[in-house]
Amino acid sequence: MYIVIEGIDTAGKSTQLDILKQNNPTAIFTKEPGGTKIGLELRRMVLNGEAKSNIAEMFLFLADRAEHIEEIIKPNINNMVISDRSMISGIAYASNLPLEIVTTLNLIATNNLLPTHVILLELSKEELISRLSQKEHDNIESRGIEYLLDIQKRMKHTIELLKINHLFIDASLSIEEIAKRIKDFINE
C-alpha cells in the first residue's frame, strides 16, 4: 500500500503520522518534499522563498517528486509506504496554472504511480485561523488564510479528479477519533 496523509499546514498531519508510526513499525515513512537527499535541499529552497517564480517553485517540487518516486516509492512498492504529502499537494499548490496541466506534469514526474489510499485532513476557516495564530509562519503560510483554504479545496478536487481511494476527515475532531478513522480506512 502507498498511503498518503494530506492537508494544509496545521491540519494535524504530523500528529497522525506519529500515531501511524507507533502502530505500523514495519512501514516505510517518508515525506514530500524532502524524502530524499536532493529533496531536502529542494524543500529548504522552497520554504525559504528562494524561487522567485511560481513556475520555478512548481518545477522544484516536480524534481523532488520524480526523485522521491524513484528512490523511495518504487523500491518499496511491495511494502506499506506512508507519506506526508504527495503529488496531491503538488497539484494543489501550483494554483497559478490550470489543474489539467499541473496534473499532467505530476503524472509525468510520478510515472503515473498514484497512492492507493489518500487521507485528507480538512480545516474550517475558523479552525485554520486559530491554529495559525499559535505558530510562526513559513513562506507558504505567510500567503494567508484564503490562499490556504483555496489550496485545501484544490486538494479535495484533485483527489476526486484522479479517482483515488480516499477519506476526507474533519481535522477539528479529537486526535483519537481521527486516528481511529484512519486505521479503519487503511484496514478495510
**Mean pLDDT, residues 44-58 taken together:** 85
The Cα–Cα gap between 16 and 9 comes to 13
Asked if 5 and 83 touch (Cβ cutoff 8 Å), the reply is yes
List pLDDT tens digits, range 156-183.
999 999 999 999 999 999 999 999 999 9
* Average pLDDT across the chain, whole number: 90
Asked if 102 and 158 touch (Cβ cutoff 8 Å), the reply is no
Q: Is the pLDDT of residue 53 over 50?
A: yes
Confidence of residue 136 (pLDDT cuts 50, 70, 90): low
Residue 115: asked if its preceding bond is cis (omega within 30°), the reply is no
Q: Is the pLDDT of residue 142 over 70?
A: no
Total domains in the chain come to: 1
Domain that holds residue 130: 2-187
**DSSP string of 43-56?**
HHHHHTT---SHHH
Confidence of residue 12 (pLDDT cuts 50, 70, 90): very high
> Can you give the CATH number for the domain in which 29 is found?
3.40.50.300
> For residue 139, what pLDDT is reported?
47
> For residue 137, what pLDDT is reported?
52
**Mean pLDDT, residues 113-128 taken together:** 94
